[in-house]
Amino acid sequence: MARSRWRRRVLGILLAIAPISAPALAAPPVSDRANAGSPQAEAPTSSSPRILPPQITLLSPGTGDRQLLRLRLQTGDRQRALLVIKTKMQLAMPGQPAIETPTPEMRLTAAVQVDRVEPNGNVAYTLSYPKIEMIAPAGTPAPVQAMMNESAREMQGLRIRIQGNDRGQLSAVNFDFDKPPSSVLQAALAQMTDSIRNSNIEFPAEPIGLGGRWQAAMSIEANGLRINQRAVYEVTELTPDRVVLRVTVEQTAPPQKLTIPGLPVAQAPSLRSYAATGSGQLQMDFNRSLPTQSNLTLNLRSEMDGPTEVGSVSMTGEMTMTLDPSP
């Protein structure tokens, strides 16, 4: 029983990495069961902590005609996109064969509206998720599916107010709710901010041409797991109106004691190692807030030490994330 419970906790940690491990994808939400709230109550708002920008480094300016990569948004612009996340996980514990761990497929319709564009390039827009589906694997108990559906409904009442500029730099993220959020969703806001920060494309300050490359380095956190990430973008196509980029991602994490809500400190695992690599492609039209198309595949491996009765556990996984236009 202890091993089964601990296995579920470990899986939850690594699945939480998926939302913050997708550069240039519309950040997916994190949620749990909603608390009841009065429909007459004023919609609550929550502010994020200060946005810590990634470190942007130009690795190569590229060749040919170079241009500044800048967004050209207009007040009132709207965009919808479908984000699909599929995950395969395999977990191994001492004395037991490795097992495939079923995980739900997530399908999220993201909607963006540009609220304000200033002459200096600063922009404010609203991100929401009007439709969220969590497709459970065959054999999932009905109560579990019901809880996932309830979580999705709560997230559909969330509006994310974002401020930034035409380079993609973010300066503020605020959350508006239709009703008071559940305690778990409230606690997840910092992680959601990391999701938004990491899913955002920040262009280099310098002009860049075909074959040009830049790096975005940052530290991110998911459920108490601190991760160092390095993403490299390479220009494969470039016109005055759009850019196509090849993306590679590397993640590492130092050994650390993990903090897991609801799990006693004595039973919390210690991370021994974590590494992930990924690659993909995205297309960014300069008159759109989100990529018009994006895909990323991430492969990860992690080893953790648990309490004595559990021992060590290793997990490997593959996550595929795609973003395409939605009607």
The per-residue pLDDT for 37 is 34
| Interatomic CA distance for residues 285 and 70, integer angstroms | 10
The per-residue pLDDT for 134 is 85
| Interatomic CA distance for residues 237 and 16, integer angstroms | 33
- Residues in the chain where the model's pLDDT stays below 50: 1-2, 6, 11, 13-21, 28-43, 46-49
- Cβ atoms 6, 269 nearer than 8 A: yes
- Fold annotation for 2-325: Lipovitellin-phosvitin complex; beta-sheet shell regions (2.30.230)
The per-residue pLDDT for 215 is 97
| Interatomic CA distance for residues 216 and 230, integer angstroms | 6
The per-residue pLDDT for 41 is 34
Position of tokens 């509006």?
Answer: 159
pLDDT tens by residue, 54-86: 899 999 999 999 999 999 999 999 999 999 989
- Residue 47's alpha-carbon distances to 13, 162, 163, 227, in angstroms, are 24, 10, 12, 23
The per-residue pLDDT for 284 is 95
